[in-house]
Chains A and B, each alone.
Chain A
Amino acid sequence: MRILKFLLRKEFRQIFRDKSILAMIFAMPSIQLIILPLAANFDVKNVNLAIVDNDHSTYSQRLISKVGSSGYFRIIEASHSFKEALHTVEDNRADLIMEIPAGFERNLVREGSQKLSLAVDAINGTKAGLGGAYLNRIIGDFNGDVRLQWMQSGRFNEATAIDVTSSNWFNPLGEYRFFMVPGILVLLLTLVGGFLSALNIVREKEIGTIEQINVTPIQKWQFILGKMIPFWVLGMIVFTIGLLIARLVYGIIPVGSLATLYLFAGVYLVALLGFGLLISTYSDTQVQAMFVAFFFVMIFILMSGLFTAIDSMPPWARAIAYMTPVTHFIEVVRMIILKGSGLADVTRQLLYEIGFAIVLNGWAIWNYRKTN
Chain B
Amino acid sequence: MKQLLVFIRKEFYHVFRDRRTLLILFGLPTAQIMLFGYALSSEVKNINLAVVDFSKDVATQQIITKIQSSSYFNLQQSVLSYADMERAFREGKIRAAIVFPTGFNDDLRHVNKAQIQLIADASDPNTATTITNYLTGIIGDYQQQINAAAALPYQIQTETRMLYNPDMNGSLNFIPGVLALILMIVCTTLTSVSIVREKELGTMEVLLVSPFKPILVLIAKAVPYLVLSLLDFALILVLAVFVLDVPVRGSVVLLFAESTLFIICCLSLGLLISNITASQQVAMLASMMGMMLPTILFTGFMFPLENMPLPLQLVSNIVPSRWYYLIVKAIMLKGLGFGAVWKETVVLIGMAVGLLGISLKNFNIRLA
Residues of chain A having any CB pair with chain B under 8 Å: 18, 20-21, 24, 28, 32, 35-36, 38-46, 48, 86, 89-92, 108-109, 112-130, 132-133, 135-136, 139-140, 142-143, 146-147, 150-151, 156-172, 174-176, 178-179, 184, 187-188, 191-192, 195-196, 199, 203, 284-288, 290-295, 297-299, 301-303, 307-309, 311-314, 317, 320-321, 331, 334-335, 338-341, 345
Contacts and interface: CB of A to CB of B under 8 A. Distances in A.
A336 B152 CA distance: 50
B302 A40 contact: yes
Given A114-B157, A171-B122, A335-B92, 16 more contacts: A18-B279, A20-B277, A41-B304, A92-B329, A108-B154, A116-B158, A119-B160, A122-B164, A151-B154, A160-B113, A168-B120, A169-B122, A287-B190, A291-B186, A294-B288, A339-B123
A45 B114 CA distance: 30
Nearest to B334: A90
Interface of B: 18, 20-21, 24-25, 28, 31-32, 35-36, 38-48, 89-92, 95, 108, 112-130, 132-133, 135-137, 139-140, 142-143, 146-147, 150, 152-166, 168, 170, 172-173, 178, 181-182, 185-186, 189-190, 193, 277-282, 284-286, 288-290, 292-294, 296-298, 302-304, 306-309, 312, 316, 326, 329-330, 333-334, 336, 340
B170 A125 contact: yes
Nearest to A127: B304
Secondary structure at the A interface, as helix, strand, loop or mixed, is helix
16 contacts: A39-B312, A40-B303, A112-B154, A119-B161, A124-B42, A166-B119, A167-B118, A170-B123, A285-B21, A287-B284, A288-B20, A288-B24, A294-B28, A298-B182, A314-B38, A335-B90
Given A122-B164, A124-B173, A312 B43 contact: yes
A312 to B, nearest CB: 4
Contacts, number: 363
Contacts of B289: 24, 28, 191-192, 195
Nearest to B122: A168
Nearest to A40: B303
Contacts of B91: 341, 345
Contact of A311 (B46, B173, B193, B302): B46
Contacts of B161: 117-120
Contact of A42 (B147, B296, B304): B304
A299 B125 contact: no
Contacts of B297: 36, 39-40
Given A117-B159, A174-B129, A184 B340 contact: no
